Structure 1
Amino acid sequence: MCGIVGVVSAHPVNQLIYDALLLLQHRGQDAAGIVTQEGRKFFMHKARGMVRDVFRTRNMRALPGSSGLGQVRYPTAGSASSEEEAQPFYVNAPFGIVMVHNGNLTNARQLRRELADTDHRHTNTESDSEVLLNVLAHEIARASRGAPLTSDDVFAAVRAVHQRVRGSYAVIALIAGYGLLAFRDPFGIRPLCLGRSSDASVMLASESVALEGTLHQLERDVAPGEAVFVHPDGRIEARQCAASSQLYPCMFEYVYLARPDSVMDGISVYQARLNMGETLAKRVVSTVPPSEIDAIIPVPESSRPSAMQLAQKLGLPYREGFVKNRYVGRTFIMPGQATRKKSVRQKLNTIGSEFKGRRVLLVDDSIVRGTTSREIVQMARDAGATKVYLASAAPPVRHPNVYGIDMPTREELIAHGRSVEEIRQWIGADALIYQDVQAMKHTVGSINAQVQGFEASCFDGCYVTGDISDEAVMALNAGRNHSADDEGEDTSRLSLPNADGA
């Protein structure tokens, strides 16, 4: 869950990249970084924190050049507390390469051994992104054989990367003096799109909102397995580099991660959430008669489109009953669960008049650990609701995600090993309604027939890369980000200061 951007222009790009990162801030709040290129020299600044805090005027002035990269990071592997693991990453050979990466490699441990024992390349962090950069650098060196780099060499290197690397990866890299390279894994799990501006600058970014917000016209998405090479003059070459490819984007992008005003792989995120609300309405009717519901209330922010559509479908009033405090960040060290509950209430407050004496249906985008849902249900009761029903626009989250979303371990997931009735009792709702997995896939997929399926492993346990066993999940969980500061941290989605950019 990171946001990446790359730009080639005839003009300075530091402000352009900064603006794009602000538009992608919802994808990561842990760290931010920008690298620019002037001539054959790179200039980089990165640090932990939000974009507005990491970059000051003096930092921006020290980032000259007409091409560059940026990333906002939400760590899923390695150490969240390590400043060294903020991106971009850099290697000086061959040619000099800087890279940003969104995703998660499922065979990073094996690759790290190969890099050390066979490729004789050194990695200095626990980040799988540094592993990926070194694999790319090694394959570019093999393809070029010490000669000046050609686009054929670049595409040959990406083909070799696809053969070695497993997992999810959307990548943008700058090769000093040669141009910008972007590519996507053969399943297209993590998003990446391409656009141009009226002054002929070329931008690649995780979401279309970053293009549109910086006055670039969205041209298309980078295809699964495809590599795009942008020359310094803005000329673009593209080639399919995977032996086989299928479009299986991550379903959780549409459920929660992406901004509603983005279009990803031909699917409007907003329309996807409206469609989820429509199918969820059918599930609600089979559980709770609409006559027993007085109001539909969303849990901010990303559940709003689903809740609105559900209310319209059922002919019930839609009401805003919770107000989110956008200016409360993460509470990093909290000594006990009581303090955690206080933290949730600091981030969300009720409008009492919308609950008092009413039977309310709360709509959330998903339920992961369940602790936040339990507290929200209690908040509704404390505000005077006589009945509190809870509906999730997504199906039960029963399995860990290994492709770049910081999902808890299996044991931490409220839906793992529990029936819906057991979850309902634990959360304390009068009724609990979940989205159906197949209905969700169908309703979102109907927006673009070119999408062949979805990576929905956290819901259905099917890992599209085909290399994930129970042992692999355990190994990947062992590598999840953690630090001493994480003890007691509120990791609910409400802890994000501006979850869907709304």
Structure 2
Amino acid sequence: MLTEIKGLNEECGVFGIFGHKKAAEMTYYGLHALQHRGQEGAGIVTSDGEELHLHKGTGLINEVFEEGQVKGLVGSSAIGHVRYATQGGGGFENVQPLVFRSQKSSMALCHNGNLVNAFALKSQLEAQGSILSTTSDTEVVAHLIKRSGHLDLEEAIKQALGMIKGAYAFTILTEDQLFVALDPRGLRPLSLGRLGDAYVVASETCAFDLIGATYEREVKPGELIVIDKDGLRSSRFSSEIGRKLCSMEYVYFSRPDSNINGLNVHASRKVMGKQLAKEANVEADIVTGVPDSSISAAIGYSEATGIPYEIGLVKNRYVGRTFIQPSQELREQGVKMKLSPVRGIVEGKRVVMVDDSIVRGTTSRRIVTLLKEAGAKEVHVRIASPPIVNPCYYGIDTSTKGELIAANYSVEEMREQIGADSLAFLSVEGLESSVVQGDEQTHGVCNACFTGKYPTEIYPDTVNPVYKA
């Protein structure tokens, strides 16, 4: 059996605003909308034109920012971050934004993604005399910027971005400028908007909706945007090589009310569910989705098959995070605390349980058990994504094949392990047809976790050992 480890977790979320008198408040609300992307830490940096002001901490955004702390962050520009630890691990020192101060100016950075060559770059920097104060790969970029030798900060940032490899959406704030950059493959989502005369940038458009901003456009892969008192200007630090947006943004990470690369997430998940029904229909009485990210796909599956959609599982939204290391028995109880089967709906029924993905299989097994304990006659598991058989090096916490059930067992063996009456996955072709709308060059997706075809070099000899396959 596979070792019990952490499951699939979200990316981080970044937010930035320039030219708004309530920059800190807008950033606070923007981060609330992005809270699903990271629950381990949060922070905001503002600029009043002369000085950067920082507050950050571990925990949820409303835990980090108590009453009065947001108002203490003065200034008309700000960047913020919600964090899920990937490269570098947890700890307060790794909570972003990271702030670097010098005699002439200061700089704050927020980063969503993972740099696959960070380990090698850290070794080079240390050999040249740099002292790193965190274990985050984000700090590497600050050192590269400062060591570039360019007096012009924009050129220094471009040079630094040209040296890093992997997935990244950056917001960089100085006393008088906001810089925004997306990696050449566009692996991470990043959108630009307006709020009155202010410019806004966020990992997802749901943050714009919360603060009343209007969507302008996607930040382009390989683009560097500079925003200051003179407005916005755009340039490129990399040539166009074709977008490879992480397909798990559509499958799992992003909120259903967000639009990612021009496609609504809820709509794309419904299409995945309909395609899954075409590929893996089964006779059943009801369809149910695992809350929350699988509900859209379950509705699509129901519409395509004509099998009624029902709420067969209810999520308890008031279960807080646990800081104990539970026994296996308590882990089982934890699933019951978070999810409850609706006995009156599933009892005596043949149930199609739609979920977004299977990583280790442990959660799927527990949910199948819950449904059968509630009297379900049959439980047919349908997964609205292909089997995850390869590690992700771009910011998702699946770093080795040993963590992935689909990399070690056949579909039939997986079915036996989770206790389902049948198990089927969406094909890679079915997923791509659901989310690639239009030109592959601008709307292509990264399916490396399903296919092993990585859009960048991985540097197997120099990558941090924890991320080796």
TM-score (norm 2): 0.94
- 1:447: how far off? 6.1
Q: Report the equivalent of 2:224.
A: 227
Map Cα deviations across residues 419-470 of structure 1 (whole Å, 9 max, x no partner): 111110111100001010122112210266553521121111111112354x
- 2:431 is paired with a residue of what secondary structure? helix
Map Cα deviations across residues 327-361 of structure 1 (whole Å, 9 max, x no partner): 21332323421111111111001110111111100
Q: Report the equivalent of 1:86.
A: 95
- 1:176: how far off? 2.2
Q: Does 1:170 align with 2:160?
A: no
Q: Does 1:245 align with 2:254?
A: no
Q: Report the equivalent of 2:300.
A: 309
Q: Counterparts of 2:347 and 2:95 in 1: how far apart (Å)? A: 47
Map Cα deviations across residues 47-84 of structure 1 (whole Å, 9 max, x no partner): 0010111101231232001011100001112222x111
Structural RMSD (CA) = 1.8
Q: Counterparts of 2:173 and 2:216 in 1: how far apart (Å)? A: 21
Q: Counterparts of 2:257 and 2:169 in 1: how far apart (Å)? A: 20
Aligned amino acid, residue 385 of structure 1: A
**How many residues get paired?**
458
Q: Quick one: which of 320, 330, 336 aligns to 1:339?
A: 330
- 1:59 is paired with a residue of what secondary structure? coil
- 1:9: how far off? 1.4
Q: Quick one: which of 471, 475, 482 aligns to 2:465?
A: 475
Q: Report the equivalent of 1:110.
A: 120
Q: Counterparts of 1:10 and 1:411 in 2: how far apart (Å)? A: 48
Q: Are the aligned partners of 1:78 and 1:127 in contact in 2 as well (CA < 8 Å)?
A: yes
Q: Does 1:138 align with 2:147?
A: yes
- 1:5 is paired with a residue of what secondary structure? strand
Residues 1:472 and 1:390: Cα distance change in structure 2 (over 3 Å):
farther
- 1:132: how far off? 2.1
Q: Counterparts of 1:447 and 1:209 in 2: how far apart (Å)? A: 23
Q: Are the aligned partners of 1:106 and 1:476 in contact in 2 as well (CA < 8 Å)?
A: no
- 1:380: how far off? 0.6
Q: Are the aligned partners of 1:445 and 1:451 in contact in 2 as well (CA < 8 Å)?
A: no
Q: Quick one: which of 201, 208, 211 aligns to 1:211?
A: 208
Aligned amino acid, residue 217 of structure 1: T
- 1:117: how far off? 2.4
Aligned amino acid, residue 264 of structure 2: S
Q: Report the equivalent of 2:384.
A: 393
Q: Are the aligned partners of 2:118 and 2:464 in contact in 1 as well (CA < 8 Å)?
A: no
Map Cα deviations across residues 151-198 of structure 1 (whole Å, 9 max, x no partner): xx50x3333223210110100001223x10000100000111111112
Report 1:46-445 matches (<5 A): 46-80=56-90, 82-93=91-102, 95-118=105-128, 120-139=129-148, 142-144=149-151, 149=152, 153-154=153-154, 156-177=155-176, 179-198=177-196, 200-233=197-230, 235-285=231-281, 288=282, 292-407=283-398, 409-445=400-436
Q: Are the aligned partners of 1:270 and 1:305 in contact in 2 as well (CA < 8 Å)?
A: yes
Aligned amino acid, residue 166 of structure 2: G
- 1:123 is paired with a residue of what secondary structure? coil
- 1:110 is paired with a residue of what secondary structure? helix
- 1:387: how far off? 0.7
Q: Counterparts of 1:453 and 1:215 in 2: how far apart (Å)? A: 29
Q: Counterparts of 1:382 and 1:105 in 2: how far apart (Å)? A: 44
Aligned amino acid, residue 194 of structure 2: R
- 1:245: how far off? 3.0
445-454 or 157-166, which deviates more = 445-454
Q: Counterparts of 1:115 and 1:474 in 2: how far apart (Å)? A: 15
Q: Report the equivalent of 1:486.
A: none
Q: Counterparts of 2:388 and 2:400 in 1: how far apart (Å)? A: 11
Aligned amino acid, residue 387 of structure 1: E
Q: Are the aligned partners of 1:91 and 1:134 in contact in 2 as well (CA < 8 Å)?
A: no
Residues 1:257 and 1:417: Cα distance change in structure 2 (over 3 Å):
same
Q: Are the aligned partners of 1:390 and 1:433 in contact in 2 as well (CA < 8 Å)?
A: yes
Q: Counterparts of 2:463 and 2:292 in 1: how far apart (Å)? A: 30
Q: Counterparts of 1:460 and 1:251 in 2: how far apart (Å)? A: 12
438-447 or 273-282, which deviates more = 438-447
Residues 1:394 and 1:378: Cα distance change in structure 2 (over 3 Å):
same
Q: Are the aligned partners of 2:194 and 2:216 in contact in 1 as well (CA < 8 Å)?
A: yes
205-214 or 20-29, which deviates more = 205-214
Q: Counterparts of 1:352 and 1:326 in 2: how far apart (Å)? A: 19
Residues 1:302 and 1:10: Cα distance change in structure 2 (over 3 Å):
closer
Q: Report the equivalent of 2:42.
A: 32
Aligned residues with identical type, % of pairs? 38
Q: Are the aligned partners of 2:221 and 2:240 in contact in 1 as well (CA < 8 Å)?
A: no
Q: Counterparts of 2:229 and 2:39 in 1: how far apart (Å)? A: 31
Map Cα deviations across residues 377-408 of structure 1 (whole Å, 9 max, x no partner): 01110000111100000111111111011225
Q: Counterparts of 2:361 and 2:431 in 1: how far apart (Å)? A: 21
106-115 or 241-250, which deviates more = 241-250
Residues 1:335 and 1:261: Cα distance change in structure 2 (over 3 Å):
closer
Aligned amino acid, residue 418 of structure 1: Y
Residues 1:222 and 1:266: Cα distance change in structure 2 (over 3 Å):
same
Q: Counterparts of 1:316 and 1:25 in 2: how far apart (Å)? A: 34
Q: Counterparts of 1:284 and 1:472 in 2: how far apart (Å)? A: 41
Q: Counterparts of 1:3 and 1:88 in 2: how far apart (Å)? A: 11
Q: Counterparts of 2:368 and 2:422 in 1: how far apart (Å)? A: 11
Aligned amino acid, residue 263 of structure 1: N
Structure 1's unaligned 5+ residue stretches are: 480-502
Q: Counterparts of 2:462 and 2:421 in 1: how far apart (Å)? A: 38
Q: Are the aligned partners of 1:266 and 1:448 in contact in 2 as well (CA < 8 Å)?
A: no
- 1:22: how far off? 0.3
- 1:136: how far off? 2.8
Aligned amino acid, residue 396 of structure 2: I
- 1:295: how far off? 0.4
Aligned amino acid, residue 237 of structure 2: C
- 1:372: how far off? 0.4
Q: Are the aligned partners of 2:399 and 2:466 in contact in 1 as well (CA < 8 Å)?
A: no
- 1:60 is paired with a residue of what secondary structure? coil
Residues 1:451 and 1:278: Cα distance change in structure 2 (over 3 Å):
farther
- 2:120 is paired with a residue of what secondary structure? helix
